[in-house]
Each structure stands twice: as C-alpha cells, then as structure tokens.
C-alpha cells in the first residue's frame, strides 16, 4: 500500500491560486528555489512545496540555504533507488495528495523521475502542468539516461512550457508544441544570489585550496549512464593528470552514490588530488568560482560554469546544453582516458583560453520572475473543466513565443 503524504501545507487566503511545486533532487531544488520565492511574493499566487524524497537530505540542504520549508513530504526514499519503484511511489503518493488537496496547477522542473511522475499525476488530475526548463534535447534516448526520454514525455503532458533559451523554444516549435515561453534558466538566478556570499567550506581542506595561487580543476561525475567503466576511466584520467600537472590541484566532488564513490576511491591518497563530499550549494558556488577549469558530466554545472565564464570539459558524447558548445565555453570530451587527459592538458597549456565573456548565454538572473508571470497568465486565462486540457494542437508549426524570443531572452 502506498505510504500517504505527510502534509505541512500552509493555509492560504481564498483569493490566492495555489501552485504545487514538486521537488525531488538537488538540481531541482536549486532551480526551483528562486521560483518558490517569486511565487511567495506574488499577489495572486501561493506555492505549495512538495518534496518527493528522491534526494531528501540534499534537497533539505539546499532549502535550508534558501530559507524554504516544504509543505508536503512524500517520503519516496523508503522504496529504494530503482527507477520503476521511485516513479510508482511518486505517482501513487502525489496522486493521493492531489485527490485531497487540489491545487490550481502543478509545476515541475527538468527531467527527473520526480518530475515525470508529478507531471503524469497532474495530467491525470486535469490540472495545468507547467514545465520549467522545457525543450532540452540531446537526440540520444540513452544519454542522458533516463532523462532524455523523461523530458520528451514531459513535453506531451505539459500545458505551459518554460524554455530556458531561444534554442530550446525553437526546438519545441519544430516539434509542434504551443504555449512555449522563453524565460532564461533559473539556475542563473540562484547562482547570482549565492555568488555574493563567501560561505565557509564544510570541508576545511578547501580553504587552503581556495587561498593558494596555483590552478584548480574541479571534477564532478555522477551520470547513471557513466556508472562503472566510464567513471573508472574518468578517475584514471585524473590520476594521470595529477601525476604530471605539478602546479594544479584537482578537487573531485564525489556524489554520495556508493557506485560513484567506489570509482573515485582510487584517487583518495594521491598527491594534488582532493576528494570531497558535495559542498552545500552556497560554498559549492564559491568553489566553482575559484576553479580555473571544470571537468563535469552535469548539465547544471555546464550552465553555472558558463555563467561564471569558466571553461567546462564535458565527459559525455552529447549534451542538451548546446549553447555552451556553440559559444566555445564548453567542449565534449567523452569518457576515454586519453581524450580527457589531452583535453585538460590543452586547456591548461600556456596561452590557452580557459575563460570567456559569454556569461549571459543561459540567463540574466530574472528567469524566476518571468516564469511566475507566465504561470499567473496561464491561471488567469485557463477555463477549468473536468476534462484534461492540452496546449498543443496538430498543425501548429511554432510556439507563439518564438517570434519574440530574441527580444525576450539573452540567447
């Protein structure tokens, strides 16, 4: 039997429209925190923050930094990490909650298991589903896995598509999707809010790394499709580089997943390599700003590094964040040892460009305000019926926003 949601929902004046903001992972928490703040300050809207429990401790850490208190906890962490079990728990428990407390809309972010399950429940409940960070595509169903399939399914279920860039909006238009609006990426809002802080590192060893004058390479890798041999090769590449790059410190931020930690365990005792647990978001931004180069498979870090003007080497063969590739601030290097080593050595060679003035390609820090404005318009114009509402129609060749995309976002 599905475990019922435990609700801490705040009471809201009757005049306010409620938006169920469903959050499962740390990246979702980071990117939704500015939207939750904007909803909380809106005269007509009220967020109901629902955490699934997919990454419970990491989400709690982010929300503590932003001063957010969840209203509902679905506790899906009690079903384990199997994808089918987790999505089934999200569907069942969120479905039970929506049957008792019917919000005016459901807001999901990105392409996680939580986002997929929440969008499906919202669709089944005939509620408007808003998809933040819509339109990203890698064109490879297996990379990133399972996110590429999730985001395509989310497009079918969403009524309002908030695209982070004009590129994403145009892609949705080519797929015949309507109700697309370019907002910028809310990760930039969150990053800029944290950049002004100088929070102490949780791992005090990073204080000396931050203070010294040598170069720093930040390494992160955790993608499910890289588990096993690809992660092992990334670790071997770092080990090789640490043995030859005498003036460089490699900081490896190791995801808490035991599979990831097992791959990076070979680096623990090497000189010039520091393996650390993920820092809280505010101190992680400080570390990211200190780095001279980033080696990562994270989509969010690709966006954050570009915003800071730092070059990223992406240990994948494809990426949905194509803007960084086109701007020359990011480079796909795959997971082969020689390819990673060569790319890092080239990036660190004398005279190589490690930074660029392309900081606005993913947003200007106002994405959350734009997103909430579009949610407000959606709810003011929506005619609520007992039947599911769809926002796309056959024969639509481009979203209504694409014509104005160049003037509405910094792409």
Just list the catalytic residues.
Answer: 111, 133, 147, 222, 224, 255
C-alpha 43, offset from chain centre:
27
Q: How far, in Å, CA of 218 to CA of 235, rounded?
A: 13
Give Cα separations from 406 to 4, 30, 166, 279 (angstroms).
45, 26, 7, 36
Q: How far, in Å, CA of 19 to CA of 13, rounded?
A: 13
Q: How far, in Å, CA of 318 to CA of 141, rounded?
A: 11
Residue 101: exposure state from Cβ atoms within 10 A (0-12, 13-18, ≥19): middle
Give Cα separations from 14 to 7, 30, 39 (angstroms).
19, 29, 16
CA atoms within 13 A on the CB side of 202: 12
CB 170 within 8 Å of CB 367: no
Q: How far, in Å, CA of 167 to CA of 173, rounded?
A: 10
């Amino acid at each position: 039997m599905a475990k019922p949601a435990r609700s801490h929902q705040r009471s809201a004046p009757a005049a306010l429209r409620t938006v169920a903001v469903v959050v499962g992972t740390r990246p979702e928490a980071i990117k939704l925190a500015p939207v939750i703040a904007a909803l909380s300050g809106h005269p007509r809207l009220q967020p109901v923050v629902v955490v699934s429990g997919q990454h419970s401790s990491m989400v709690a850490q982010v929300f503590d930094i932003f001063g957010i208190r969840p209203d509902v906890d679905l506790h899906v962490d009690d079903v384990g990490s199997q994808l089918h079990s987790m999505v089934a728990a999200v569907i069942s428990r969120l479905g039970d909650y929506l049957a008792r407390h019917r919000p005016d809309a459901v807001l999901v972010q990105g392409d996680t298991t939580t986002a997929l399950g929440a969008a499906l429940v919202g669709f089944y409940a005939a509620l408007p589903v808003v998809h933040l960070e819509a339109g990203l595509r890698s064109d490879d169903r297996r990379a990133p896995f399972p996110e590429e399939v999730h985001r395509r399914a989310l497009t079918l279920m969403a009524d309002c598509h908030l695209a982070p860039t004009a590129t994403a909006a145009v892609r949705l238009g080519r797929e015949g999707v309507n109700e697309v609006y370019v907002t910028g990426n809310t990760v930039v809002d969150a990053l800029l809010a944290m950049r002004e802080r100088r929070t102490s590192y949780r791992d005090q060893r990073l204080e000396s790394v931050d203070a010294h004058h040598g170069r720093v390479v930040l390494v992160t890798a955790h993608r499910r499709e890289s588990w096993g041999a690809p992660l092992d090769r990334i670790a071997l590449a770092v080990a090789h580089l640490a043995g030859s790059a005498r003036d460089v410190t490699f900081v490896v931020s190791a995801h808490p997943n035991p599979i990831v930690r097992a791959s990076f365990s070979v680096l623990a005792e090497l000189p010039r390599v520091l393996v650390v647990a993920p820092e809280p978001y505010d101190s992680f931004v400080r570390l990211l700003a200190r780095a001279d180069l980033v080696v990562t498979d994270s989509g969010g870090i690709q966006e954050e590094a570009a915003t800071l003007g730092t070059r990223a080497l992406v240990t994948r063969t494809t990426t949905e964040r194509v803007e960084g590739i086109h701007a020359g601030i990011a480079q796909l290097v795959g997971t082969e040892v020689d390819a990673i080593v060569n790319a890092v050595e080239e990036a660190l060679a004398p005279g190589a460009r490690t930074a660029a003035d392309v900081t606005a390609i993913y947003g200007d820090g106002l994405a959350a305000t734009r997103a909430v404005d579009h949610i407000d318009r959606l709810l003011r114009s929506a005619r609520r019926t007992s039947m599911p509402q769809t926002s796309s129609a056959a024969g639509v060749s481009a979203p209504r926003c694409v014509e104005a995309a160049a003037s509405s976002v910094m792409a």
